[in-house]
Amino acid sequence: MNVLIVHAHPEPQSFCAALKDAAVETLASQGHQVQVSDLYAMNFNPVASAEDFRQRENPDYLVYALEQRMGVASNSLAPDIQAEIRKVQEADLLILSFPIFWMSVPAILKGWIDRVFVSGLFYGGKRVYDRGGMAGKRALVCTTLGGRDYMFGAGSLHGELYGEAGMLRSVLQGSLGYVGMEVLEPFVAYHVPYIDDGARSALLAQWRDELKQLDRRPVMAMPSLADFDDTFRPRQASAA
Amino acid sequence: MNVLIVHAHPEPQSFCAALKDAAVETLASQGHQVQVSDLYAMNFNPVASAEDFRQRENPDYLVYALEQRMGVASNSLAPDIQAEIRKVQEADLLILSFPIFWMSVPAILKGWIDRVFVSGLFYGGKRVYDRGGMAGKRALVCTTLGGRDYMFGAGSLHGELYGEAGMLRSVLQGSLGYVGMEVLEPFVAYHVPYIDDGARSALLAQWRDELKQLDRRPVMAMPSLADFDDTFRPRQASAA
């Protein structure tokens, strides 16, 4: 299996980085090929802009998704985007490793999605969700945060972190699921800044164990285009 | 009323920019003071990093929120962050103006939140939601997207865009609501790349009308700390 880990933490010594390193070691020891895009170390540019296109379909008015499609077709996307696209194409499993910033991904990782998940390749027209361009690949989020586990979930202070009403739904469904990936249940390390070394070691051991059993990991429910007509209206609506 | 509009679209001639311009004109004509942070025009840096702190509490290990608190206390945050904080502090109403990128805000706007919503001022310790540092201010999202309105909502292809299970929940609740702002129901312009000039003019007129009636605009439900104990556990849990 080829694995791509996209890691986005500003502190190289963070516990989040330790989880990333544990994933590299564990998956490599299982015989998998592992590649890491460490976005902070790469000084990755997260800002989607006209600069992303070496040729322009319409130089006078930027429609970003349109230029992405043209850039894919003419092989003229910016080199840093092309390099990341290639890594995703080669991967069977994509792991996003990040600390929760404002109930979502840090901006540098949001921009990796904005710029790399290009129209015409990751999705396009009617090719979304189970017909998305990255169908057949799996995705797994590994994340750290300061809050305690009981602060998330139905009826809790913040509500669900993942799941049908999850804070992370724009990432899990709206991005990873949207392009067709099978989205595994996230690994979440709660309360990280406040726990001791023993608790951290236990979390690392749990993460290593779970990585060895990915085939048994729950898969998140995503929309299926079979339930919608050609205009993306629900098929059961006419019978309702 | 002082209004801050934070705008994040890479194309200055976009319909999203026209909505932003309409907001500036309409609100100014009502006698309000309006300031705009046009993040693309400002070349705003969205990447939260150690560079954001001119002094460090711990130069050997970056805990971003900790350094934010120290930076607030010692007035040593990076100048671009301080300038944006000042604008938010002066504002009675914050408008976020952006196109939906991957069911959320573009990275440049995510990074504005990551860097500007500093711990120790926007929130801190138990000061979140209705006790957040920005309580008393209002927030309004104005957004454009390619999808049609029927593709969003319960039972639809993508599920809710806003609301309790909304794709935008990390922004509306997890960011704007979290810091104490009263979050007004978003203004959403659907199907924008595909509609004609007449439909665009109608949307602009509707937006102008709605801006003149903000006091009647529905306010989104947010958690209230009165419903949770000092450890942020639901108060009703003991009776359950």
Q: What is the mean pLDDT of residues B20-43?
A: 98
DSSP letters, B168-189, are THHHIIIIIITTT-EEBPPEEE
Q: Which residues contact B10 (CB under 8 A, 6 or more apart)?
A: A48, A49, A50, A62, A64, B40, B106
Residues, chain B: 240
pLDDT at A238: 53
Per-residue pLDDT at A240: 46
- Cβ distance A170 to B64 less than 8 Å, yes or no, reads no
CA angle B55, B61, B64 (to 5 degrees): 65
pLDDT at B240 over 70: no
- Give the model's confidence band at B125: pLDDT under 50 very low, under 70 low, under 90 confident, else very high: confident
- Please give the Cα distance from B141 to B188 (Å, whole number): 8
B216-240: average pLDDT: 88
What pLDDT sits at residue B236?
74
Residue A116 pLDDT greater than 50, yes or no? yes
- Is B239 a residue whose pLDDT tops 60? no
Amino acid sitting at position B191: H
Closest CA to B101 of B9, B201, B4: B9
Cα atoms found within 13 Å of the Cα of residue A42, Cβ hemisphere only: 17
Residue A46 CA to its chain's centroid (Å): 14
Positive/negative CA dihedral, A19, A20, A22, A26: positive
pLDDT mean over A130-142: 98
- Calculate the average pLDDT of chain A: 96
Q: For residue B161, is pLDDT > 80? A: yes
Asked whether A62 and A50 are in contact (CB, 8 A), the reply is yes
CATH 3.40.50.360 fits A2-239, yes or no: yes
If you search the block for the tokens 């319409």, which residue do you land on?
A: A58
Task: Give residue B237's pLDDT band: very low, low, confident or very high (50, 70, 90).
Answer: low
Whether pLDDT at A69 is above 80: yes
CB proximity list for B25: less than 8 A, separation 6 or greater:
none
Cα(A193)–Cα(B78) distance, rounded to whole angstroms? Answer: 24
Closest CA relative to residue B39, chosen from B1, B77, B4: B4
Closest Cα in chain A to B109:
A107
What is the mean predicted confidence (pLDDT) over A57-63?
Answer: 96
- For residue B206, the number of C-alpha atoms closer than 13 Å in the C-beta half-sphere is 10
pLDDT at residue number B68: 98
Burial of B9 (C-beta count, 10 Å sphere; 0-12/13-18/19+)? buried
Q: pTM for this one?
A: 0.98
Judged against a pLDDT cut of 80, whether residue B235 lies above it is answered with yes
Give the pLDDT score at A125. Answer: 82
Q: pLDDT per residue over B38-57, tens digit each?
A: 999 999 999 999 999 999 99
pLDDT band at B238 (very low <50, low <70, confident <90, very high): low
Best of B119, B127, B170 to mutate (most A CBs within 10 Å, chain A)? B170
What average pLDDT does this structure show over A27-45?
A: 98
Residues of A in contact with B157 (CB under 8 A): 129, 223, 228, 232, 234
B192, B197, B200, B204: CA torsion to nearest 10? 150
In this complex, do B232 and A157 lie within 8 Å of one another by their Cβ atoms?
Answer: yes
Contacts of A10 in chain B (CB under 8 A): 48-50, 62, 64
pLDDT-derived band of residue A158, with 50, 70 and 90 as boundaries?
very high
H helices of chain A, where? 15-29, 39-42, 64-74, 79-90, 107-116, 169-171, 197-211
The residues facing B228 across adjacent strands are: B234
The per-residue pLDDT for A85 is 98
A contacts of B170 (beta carbons < 8 Å) = 102-104, 167-168, 170
Would the CB atoms of B102 and A108 count as touching at under 8 Å? no
Rg of chain A in Å (alpha carbons): 19
Longest CA pairwise span in chain A (Å): 58
In chain B, domain spans: 2-239
CB nearest B150 (choices: A168, A223, A233)? A233
A214-234: pLDDT as tens digits: 999 999 999 999 999 999 999
Work out the average pLDDT over B25-42: 98
Q: What would the mean pLDDT of A65-78 be, rounded to a whole number?
A: 97
Give pLDDT, residue A143.
Answer: 98
Sign of CA dihedral A200, A201, A205, A208: positive
ipTM comes to: 0.97
Of chain B, the percentage scoring pLDDT greater than 70 comes to 98
**How would you classify the pairing of strands B2-7 and B182-183?**
unpaired
Mean pLDDT of A21-35: 98
Residue type, A145: L
Interacting residues of A83 by C-beta distance below 8 A, sequence separation 6+: none
Q: What residues in A contact B173, CB-CB < 8 Å? A: 103, 158-159, 167
